[in-house]
Copies of this chain bind each other. A is one copy, B any other.
């Protein structure tokens, strides 16, 4: 989040059409739960547009970009890399280590979220392969739990700048206002 070392989420692999919603949800989850940036494969332009549109409407800062060489981005990342996979070490065992490394080194953190097939080199290059459970479920769910634990809930308090609209939390109903109305 703002002021801290960057946390970027890299969605590895994308099949246009079939994966559009999942990739969009990865990006929106990254944004909502405290990451600073999402890096999508270069064939995921439709998801990119949706994520940018939501950022325009609901605020940032949050960056979304396409990348035509994801393997190189992971390999050359100037900081630590977490790869979320059901085959990895248990999140509850390694989250403290990831947090500590982030605080101590002040380096950006890259979180890799797989699509269908992740090549072995990603497992090899990651500093941590992490399983949010060792059960098959959802890369979106895994990312969400990992971010909430990484930030220890602080991401839920983050403030948004340049929003066109703001949802007012309430017991029952749907209230959306402009930021101006909120300040009154």
Give A residues with C-beta under 8 Å from B.
21-22, 25, 28-29, 31-33, 54, 58, 85-93, 123-124, 126, 128-129, 131-138, 140-145, 148-149, 153, 155-157, 160, 166-175
Contacts and interface: CB of A to CB of B under 8 A. Distances in A.
A42 B128 CA distance: 41
Contacts of A141: 25, 28-29, 32-33, 140-141, 143-144
B169 A89 contact: yes
Contacts of A90: 156, 169
Given A28-B138, A86-B167, 15 more contacts: A25-B138, A25-B140, A29-B137, A32-B141, A33-B133, A33-B141, A54-B135, A87-B173, A88-B170, A92-B153, A92-B157, A131-B169, A133-B155, A138-B144, A148-B149
A137 B58 CA distance: 11
A170 B175 CA distance: 46
Contact of A29 (B91, B138, B160): B138
Main secondary structure of the interface of A (DSSP, over half): mixed
A124 B172 CA distance: 6
A148 B33 CA distance: 14
Nearest to A160: B135
Nearest to A166: B134
A149 B142 CA distance: 14
B87 A169 contact: yes
A121 B155 CA distance: 31
Contacts of A32: 133, 135-137, 141
